[in-house]
Amino acid sequence: MNWLVGLVFLLLAALLLWAFSALLISMLAGLAVSALLWQPLRRWRHRQWLHKLEQNPALDLQQQAPGALFYLLSAAVVLLGCAAALTTLIHLPDRLYSPEQLSLVCGLVFAISLATLIKLSGNLVSLGEDAAAAAEIRASWSLATGIVPMLCVVTLIFFVPHTAGWMVWREQWRGYDSTRLRIPLRHHNAEQQQALLQLVRPLLEQGSRVLSHRARSRSGSSYTLSAALPARYRFHGDALELQLAGLMPQEQLNMHLQALVSVVQGEVGSLPLAYAQCQPSPDWWGRQRFLGRGQQAMQSLRDCVRTRQSELNPALAVLQGNLQEVQVGWIRFRPWPALPRWQAFALPEDEDELQRLDTLR
């Protein structure tokens, strides 16, 4: 009977280890970084003590508070460990953990980091005081260390992104494969830049990506959370650079490239260009037909062509003869940090509207 109970506990432990393997790996990485950084700090502090004892053998080290530098370096060790844990987690395969676990780890890292900074502040404030006063100050700040982070976490629950928003944040920090386009201008000013942005707006919209996460409420019903990973653009030198939020399918990309090349060569009017840019992706067409919205999709296409033609007429007049050959490639893109800064393409915030957009999935 005992062996059966032991086997059950072993299976439960293995199940928990599998379910929370990503959290354990990230925690071990953070602890390892903190432990490795703590060793030289501890040796440096030990040498300081020995030096003080050589100068004054009667000195009571228990009554001697560490200096400000030691407090600062100790806090840095903890913060670097938190950063290592979070970095490890976001670079692990997505299948190892859920978005809920990602938000949980982010909350823990925030709480630990805030507690560390509060404790550091208390230690620095206590410097220069006598032993009794310093101990009282540190005790007060230690109490705040345990209370304030928890209150902040509870408050931030109402303001931080939901699970799909954390998925977008993860993609932006760890980077993603992205189609890149560069459109040089012979001469550029503010008017021509705005006209070029108007020309590539459908490409930026279709090149954005919507991330979705299906979750369950306490009552057992399911619902879908969505957040947008926008395509980005910037004017760098004499060209407009575009970074899509993923790798656009070649068929869809070729359609946009042919439209841009025709503008470069000056061989297309606003109507054929509007029709080419309003063509939805095959995936979007497939979803609309599957949902029985084929006629609505055709009407939406006609409305898009009319609206797009009126928008393109002034833009084509400004860009006439000013565009050069379009350059295409792909890179592993990370929007931060980068100079000059990338601008995110504006997308609707409403989740229902996001689901209706023709974007990368």
Same domain, 185 and 279: yes
Q: Calculate mean pLDDT across residues 313-324.
A: 80
Considering only CA atoms, which of 249, 258, 248 is closest in space to residue 333?
248
Confidence of residue 60 (pLDDT cuts 50, 70, 90): low
Which two structure tokens, joined as six digits, stand for 45? 């502090």
Tokens 């996460």 correspond to what residue? Answer: 213
109 and 205 co-located in one domain: no
Angle at 138 between CA 135 and CA 142, to 5 degrees: 135
**pTM for this entry:** 0.78
pLDDT at 258: 82
DSSP string, 87-127: HHHHHS-GGGS-HHHHHHHHHHHHHHHHHHHHHHHHHHHHT
102 and 208 share one domain: no
47 located within any domain: yes
Provide the mean pLDDT of the chain: 81
3-7, 85-89, 130-134: segment of lowest average pLDDT: 3-7
Domain presence at residue 105: yes
Using CA atoms, how far apart are residues 312 and 328, in angstroms rounded to an integer? 23
Which residue range forms the structural domain that includes residue 49?
A: 19-160
* Domain annotation covers residue 6: no
The answer to the question of residue 5 being in a domain is no
Same domain? For 207 and 319 the reply is yes
Q: What is the pLDDT of residue 17?
A: 58
Q: Residue 100 pLDDT > 60, yes or no?
A: yes
199 in a domain, yes or no?
yes
- At residue 5 the predicted structure's pLDDT band, cuts being 50, 70 and 90, is low
Query: Total domain count for the chain?
Result: 2
Contact 239, 184 (CB under 8 A): yes
pLDDT given for residue 340 in this prediction: 76
13-17, 22-26, 331-335: least confidently modelled range: 13-17
Q: Is residue 169 part of a domain?
A: no
pLDDT at 278: 77
Query: What pLDDT is recorded for position 77?
Result: 93
* 304 & 193 share domain: yes
**What are the backbone dihedrals phi and psi of residue 300, each rounded to the nearest 5 degrees, phi first?**
-65, -40
Give the per-residue pLDDT at 243. Answer: 92
Residue 215, phi then psi, degrees to nearest 5: -125, 170
Query: Are 68 and 127 spatial neighbours (Cβ–Cβ below 8 Å)?
Result: yes
Neighbours of 306 (CB within 10 A): 11
Residue 75 covered by a domain: yes
- Give yes or no: residues 322 and 199 share one domain: yes
Q: Are residues 259 and 339 in the same domain?
A: yes
**Distance linking the first and last C-alpha atoms of the chain:** 52
Q: How far apart are CA 37 and CA 73, in angstroms?
A: 10
Residue 285 lies in a domain: yes
**Same domain, yes or no: 154 and 65:** yes
Predicted confidence (pLDDT) at residue 58 exceeds the cutoff of 70: no
Q: What is the pLDDT of residues 77-93, one digit of tens each?
A: 999 999 999 999 998 88
Split at pLDDT 50, 70, 90, the class of 64 is: low
User: What is the C-alpha separation between 324 and 264, in angstroms, rounded?
Assistant: 6
Q: Indicate whether 236 and 351 sit together in one domain.
A: yes
pLDDT score recorded for residue 61: 55
| Whether 264 and 340 share a structural domain | yes
Whether the predicted pLDDT of 62 surpasses 70: no
152 and 25, same domain (yes or no): yes
Q: How far apart are CA 279 and CA 301, in angstroms?
A: 7
Q: What is the largest CA-CA distance in the chain?
A: 92
Q: pLDDT digits over 257-311, tens only?
A: 888 887 777 766 677 777 777 777 777 767 777 677 777 777 777 888 788 878 8
pLDDT: which is higher, 285 or 135: 135
Q: Are residues 201 and 136 in the same domain?
A: no
pLDDT in tens, 197-215: 888 888 888 888 888 877 7
